Amino acid sequence: MLKIALVATALAGLVSAAPVSAAPLRWSACPGTPRLQCSTVPVPLDYRHPDGRKIDVAVSRLPAAKPEKRRGVLLMNPGGPGVAGLRAPVAQPFPQAVRDSYDIVGFDPRGIGASAGLTCNLTDEQRAVAANPPYPHNPADVAKSAELAKQIAKQCITSDTADLLPFITTANTARDMDRIREALGVPKVSYYGESYGTYLGAVYTTLFPERSDRVVLDSSLPPEGYDVEALRAQGLGFQLRFPDFAKYAAEKDQQYHLGSTPAAVTAKYYELADRLERKPESGFDGTAFRGFTSGELRNDASFKELATYWHLLDTHQPLPGAAAAKDASDRGTFPVGYLGVICGDSRWPTSVRTYQRNVETDGVRYPMYGAFAANIRACAYWPAPAEPKVRITGGGPADVLMVQNLRDPATPLPGALRTRWAFGGRARMVTADQGGHVAYGAGANACLNDAATAYLVDGKFPARDRFCPAERS
């Protein structure tokens, strides 16, 4: 398998390195975001046949705020997978020094958003559970989720975009990135990616080490990417991160009344999840409650909202805000793009019994979220990946800076460390004693933030890995 992966990596680079003529991009104002310029880049659907069928990748550009200080292009991806990236250049809280120094370029990856979007013809009910099936309490629940997963997979692989599915992979998206680089007319691109975007960046700089400039990977997946084990790891991540919120809520017990100690707040989690499982309220059942909590744990700034929602649910009060508008079609939306990438990249277990064992095991190891993350998805019924994975290695210049929180609920530290080891001398890692998913700019740790900014702006690459102690904002 190792030889196959190495050969595939070499071939992937050779195929995409073939000379092509890129027409200059024609930019126009992005709809609804006039600060951004939008365009499209035609790319091969199948890079084994670069002169064959083309698809369009939607790209955006936020020009450098100070053209006289511009040093290049910073391509970025906000993660997911399945998340559109056109608005990412204006949504990302980069410091002004970074905005002064780069044209920041975002894009919708193939299959997602405005870039040749996939469809699975999902109903509204299926959209709610395609990426996150109902919480499983026992083997029967897993078997029921398996039937749902099988139906969703069938719809995806028989839809009118089924011919795209074999080519919706991280490796092909990385090849698209190099076509974007070429269309921009630059010999190298810098890159910032967070969450799944770290794996995309790792694959890009492995395939094209000579074309990447300054690479920052924020909150890294393992070197295998978003596979079944990376998903299961979120059970550990939740368990390690939750105490930060429990401490916050306990300190504000007079305001939220969720418990005066972290242990009491933890007990309230189980109480609310069980109650909502039996009798949903305000659009929340047990699954939605666990998923919402997991999402809000990703940033300290969300703790206030999370505690407020818990309090309202606990006291049977209506929740704030109106229901979000639903898309008329699932084409290019998150759940479809998410499944397209994670199922297309990796071979997932096909036995329902395997998922039943995983749910039982992780429900004991990580009782707060483990069973939820271990449940079966449509990937169990997906066609096998069309090509071997790209093997992340240390071949190339030392230009990869990884930044990571100690208590990351979505991409826990153990997986990020394995990616760090895979890169070897190419990478340095700056780890901060803080919680949350996405470290750069989202957290208060000036030590980590300054290290990332210094690298992007001034090229100051750390001499060695670094640990940043906790700081208080």
Helices vs. strands in the chain: H and E counts, helices first: 17, 10
Q: Is the dihedral of CA 82, 111, 74, 67 positive or negative?
A: negative
Closest CA to 417 of 357, 347, 465: 465
Q: Cα-flanking dihedrals φ and ψ of residue 74, to 5°?
A: -115, 105
Q: Cα-flanking dihedrals φ and ψ of residue 286, to 5°?
A: -60, -40
Rounded Cα distance, 43 and 178, in Å: 10
Check residue 101 and give left, alpha or beta (phi > 0: left; psi -120 to 50: alpha).
alpha
Q: What angle do CA 89, 91, 97 make, to 5 degrees?
A: 60
Residue 437 a catalytic site member: yes
Residue spans of alpha helices (H) in 279-368:
286-296, 303-314, 334-345, 352-365
CB crowding 183-215: b at 16 or more within 10 Å, else e = bbebeebbbbbbbbbbbbbbbbbbbbbebbbbb
Q: Which of 115, 195, 219, 346 is catalytic?
A: 195
Rounded Cα distance, 465 and 195, in Å: 20
Q: Which of 176, 244, 399, 408 is catalytic?
A: 408
Residue 49 a catalytic site member: no
Rounded Cα distance, 78 and 194, in Å: 6
Q: Is the dihedral of CA 183, 184, 185, 186 positive or negative?
A: negative
- Residue 119 and residue 149 in contact, taking contact as beta carbons nearer than 8 Å: no
Q: Cα-flanking dihedrals φ and ψ of residue 326, to 5°?
A: -95, 140
Residues that are catalytic = 195, 408, 437
